[in-house]
Amino acid sequence: MQRMLTTDGQEVFEEVLEIVSYMTFFSPTISLEMWSLWPLMIEALADWAIDFFPNILVPLDNYISRGTAHFLTCKETDYQQSLWNMISSIMADKNLEDNDIEPAPKLIEVVFQNCRGQVDHWVEPYLRITLDRLNRTEKPRLKCLLVQVIANAVYYNAALTLSILNKFSVTTEVFNLWFQLLQQVRKSGLRANFK
């Protein structure tokens, strides 16, 4: 399976990711052998597999949500740092379209939802890159995803998040945008955002 997560397996990459998704979701624990696939997916994403980012999102979500303790404590492969390097690179890349980066804020949300109280040191960096991308994002869908990162940071630790937003002098701006997006409705009367 390791070989299939390199360029040698490009033709079956999507199918291999699906297998990894099932194995990381349905097994009672995620084995070390399965964890050894994480760096290969991150490397592929950085090198050639950006089009597969939505497919890579699923197993990475499973690793974080179902193997939280290992994700947080392993230093031999520093999964937290690896995730940060990948997400910050993608979120900062001005050549990537809004659609291409949609899985990145979703992964930040996964960290905040599953690692509550254990990743305080990552809240500020993740909020910084989220706010940076939010400032140049045009598409409402990505704006909503980025605001959801902020909402999840509030859920993770409201006091810490508000202090960081205040430090960046964006608290009012962020909450105004959030409430503006919440109030937008379609002609049908249904909510336009955060569906």
Confidence of residue 3 (pLDDT cuts 50, 70, 90): confident
Residue ranges per structural domain of the chain:
1-77, 94-195
What is the mean predicted confidence (pLDDT) over 87-112? 96
CA distance 120 to 185: 35
CA distance 81 to 76: 11
Q: Read off φ and ψ for residue 93, nearest 5 degrees.
A: -70, 110
With tokens 């392993």, the residue in question is 74
Please give the pLDDT value at position 9.
78
Q: Which of 30, 116, 113, 13 is nearest to 67 (CA)?
A: 30
Interval 149-166: pLDDT, tens: 999 999 999 999 999 999
For residue 195, pLDDT over 80 is answered with no
Interval 15-74: pLDDT, tens: 999 999 999 999 999 999 999 999 999 999 999 999 999 999 999 999 999 999 999 999
Computed over every residue of the chain, the mean pLDDT equals: 95
